[in-house]
């Protein structure tokens, strides 16, 4: 397959939201045909420049997906499917990108705080940020405060995202911020919070850097507070 054709197919499958061959796409009749995983692996084998794959295969396709979402042709599941495609492609490409001197947009540690098992929103944010080019380190749910702070230190991550669904657990976010202060690393990490009971006022109250209403806003917020 010609390189250009391969890039077009990768972009097409990102728009279709097909991670692997067995996935169905937005359109009918695509099941069983090579999807992003297979096509990106093939592109690497054919010696395509990983940076070109990212720019022409992934980034441009995500712009198309974003427009379709704005025009209400696509809904959240479509957007997530496409973001997952990009995330999977980035996993495959990561070593090659490092070799080519291309870096991610930064490490983003994400966790649902201690006492809270509700992680749907956190997962959506993780998928979207990964699709947007961040190196997402997902610690999962019900993560102890000490563990979160430890991971920030270990990875020297510039971004930390915290989520909580319960009014009883949202206060733990404040404890995480306090702990970051105690450890003397608060100024090195931007703390973003989200979750149903939280708000901009609450973020200010606990000393977080930003409140994100949803996954899309988290991408915008990250652009505006980029280090």
Partner 1 sequence: MPDSYREGVLVKPYERLSLEQVKWLDEASLHILADPGIWCYNERAAGLFKKHGAKVSEERERYSICWRVSFPSGLIKEAVAKAPSSFVLGARKPENRLLLDAEVPRVYFGSGSEANIWIDVEMESFASINDPDVQLKIPRFQERRGDSSLLCRAARLCEQLEHLDFFIRPLNIQDPGVTSKNHDANKFFASLNNTTKHVQAGLTETESLKDVVRMAEIITGGSEALKENPIISFITCVFKSPLQMVDETAEKVFAIVEAGLPIVISSSPQGGSSAPIQEAGMVAQINAEILAGITLTQLIKEHSPVLYGSVPVRARLDDLHDLYGCPEFNQYNIDCVQMARFYKIPCYSTAGVGDAKIPGMQAIFEKLFTHLHMAMSGAQYIHYAFGLLDRTNSFCPVQAVLDNEQIGKIKHCLRGARVEPSVVDDMLKTVKKVMSSPHRLYARHSRKAMHTGEVSSPYRFETKEWEDKVLENALEYMKQLEIKPAPHLDQTTVEQIFNEIPGLLPELRTDKGDLENGKQ
Binding site for partner 1 (CB under 8 A): 17, 19, 24, 26, 75-78, 80-81, 84, 120, 123-124, 126-127, 138
Q: How far is the CB of 223 from partner 1 (least distance, A)?
A: 23
Is residue 111 within 8 Å of residue 143, measured between CB atoms? yes
Task: Name the residue nearer to partner 1 (CB basis): 61 or 177.
Answer: 61
Q: How far is the CB of 45 from partner 1 (least distance, A)?
A: 25
Task: Name the residue nearer to partner 1 (CB basis): 6 or 39.
Answer: 39
Task: Name the residue nearer to partner 1 (CB basis): 3 or 142.
Answer: 142
Q: How far is the CB of 153 from partner 1 (least distance, A)?
A: 23
Task: Name the residue nearer to partner 1 (CB basis): 24 or 38.
Answer: 24
- DSSP per position, 130-147: HHTT-EEEE--SSB-HHH
* Dist CA 77 CA 173 (whole Å): 28
Is residue 157 within 8 Å of residue 186, measured between CB atoms? no
* Dist CA 90 CA 37 (whole Å): 10
Identify each DSSP E strand in the chain by its residue range.
Answer: 107-112, 135-138, 159-163, 190-194, 210-211
Q: How far is the CB of 44 from partner 1 (least distance, A)?
A: 22
Residues listed for the chain: 227
């Amino acid at each position: 397959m010609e390189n250009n054709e391969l890039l077009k197919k990768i972009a097409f499958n990102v728009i279709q939201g097909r991670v692997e061959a067995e996935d169905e796409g937005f359109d009918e009749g695509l099941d069983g045909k090579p999807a992003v995983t297979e096509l990106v692996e093939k592109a690497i084998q054919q010696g395509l420049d990983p940076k070109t794959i990212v720019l022409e295969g992934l980034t441009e396709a995500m712009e198309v997906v974003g427009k379709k979402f704005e025009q209400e042709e696509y809904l959240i599941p479509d957007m997530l499917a496409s973001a997952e495609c990009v995330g999977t492609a980035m996993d495959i490409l990561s070593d090659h990108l490092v070799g080519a001197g291309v870096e991610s947009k930064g490490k983003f540690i994400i966790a649902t705080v201690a006492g809270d098992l509700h992680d749907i929103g956190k997962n959506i944010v993780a998928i979207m940020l990964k699709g947007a080019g961040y190196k997402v380190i997902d610690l999962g749910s019900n993560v102890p405060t000490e563990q979160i702070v430890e991971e920030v230190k270990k990875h020297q991550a510039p971004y930390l995202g915290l989520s909580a669904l319960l009014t009883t657990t949202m206060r733990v976010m404040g404890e995480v911020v306090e702990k970051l202060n105690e450890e003397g690393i608060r100024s090195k990490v931007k703390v973003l919070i989200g979750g149903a009971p939280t708000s901009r006022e609450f973020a200010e109250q606990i000393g977080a850097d930003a409140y994100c209403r949803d996954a899309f806003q988290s991408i915008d917020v990250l652009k505006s507070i980029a280090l």
